[in-house]
Amino acid sequence: MTLDNSRRHYLMCRPTYFAVEYAINPWMDPSAPVDAALAIRQWETLRRTYLDLGHTVDEIEPVPGLPDMVFAANGATVVDGEVLAVQFRDPQRADEAPAYRSWFERAGYPVHEAKYVNEGEGDILLANGMLLAGTGFRTTHAAHAQLQEVFGRPVVTLQLVDPRFYHLDTALCVLDERNVAYLPEAFSAGSQAVLRRLFPDAVLAEAADAEVLGLNAVSDGRNVVLPAQATGLAAKLRERGYATIGVDLSELRKAGGGPKCCTLVLREREASK
């Protein structure tokens, strides 16, 4: 893999208004304290990590009253320079959708309206030319059909079964063009069989690593940025030849998010594809 191939363009949202004010996943406890200043420092470290790796990071202006807006992965799905807007399941996050949509419109991307509940890259990941699409908690199965129409890529539905791993990106990480890491028991039996068929050499994560959101990792094909607490997974990845960079996002984890949740991948159209 050439260095050029590993350059990434990300969109992030500073956690200026981050808080845990409601509970829409089992990680969130509005009565537990959150250190808002620490959350911002941790997020800045993540952003700095990407810049140090040579990636480009754009920022969207945070909106007061939208405490989960830091989780930019839920803001859209961007493939081949086309954007599919999002529609959140929960009313608390609904107003994030137009905020992200207008960022993309202003940036000049063609934007397709979401017809069904779809929480962007939280549930939709590009792997080996296919779109892996999670369902069971947030993104609906109907949205998977829209994905296929919008992007013209095969869509593989994966059924999530554990409420702690409510978005696909909490249970599966795309490592490079060919391979993924995932927690088998986060998926239905049929989806586990599909994953084995598609990715026979996948890195299988242990529960302990998934429970610190270790799979909520961002890979550029060679460097994997993952929660510092996921030491077992990091060791497995290094055995496979990846470089690992641990970041501590303890405060954002209190909302159920890790590095990947904070990071939306902007994929431009590639001339050769």
Give the Cα separation of 7 and 41 in Å (integer).
24
Active-site pick, 13, 173, 261, 262: 261
Binder to ligand ARG among 13, 255, 265, 266 (CB under 6 A)?
255
Residue 147 corresponds to which tokens in the numbers above?
């994905």
In angstroms, the CA 43 to CA 12 distance is: 9
From the list 257, 259, 265, 266, which residue makes contact with ligand ARG (rule: CB under 6 A)? 257
Q: Which two tokens stand for residue 254?
A: 């209190």
Pattern 107-146, ligand ARG, x by CB under 6 A: ---------------x------------------------
Catalytic annotation on 261?
Answer: yes
For ligand ARG, what does the binding mask look like between residues 75 and 94, x meaning CB under 6 A?
------------------x-
Q: Does 74 bind ligand ARG (CB under 6 A)?
A: yes
The beta strands (E) that lie in 52-129 are given as: 56-59, 77-79, 82-84, 111-112, 124-127
Instruction: From 206, 259, 256, 203, select the one nearest 231 (Cα to Cα).
Output: 206
Please say which residue, 86 or 150, places its beta carbon nearer to ligand ARG.
86
Nearest residue to 265 (alpha-carbon basis) of 76, 35, 38, 19: 76
The distance of closest approach from Cβ of residue 71 to ligand ARG in the complex, given in angstroms and rounded to an integer, is 4
Residue 58, phi then psi, degrees to nearest 5? -95, 155
Q: Given the rule CB under 6 A, which residues bind ligand ARG?
A: 24-25, 28, 68, 71, 73-74, 93, 122, 167, 169-170, 255-257, 261
Give the residue numbers annotated as catalytic, written as ranges.
Answer: 167, 261
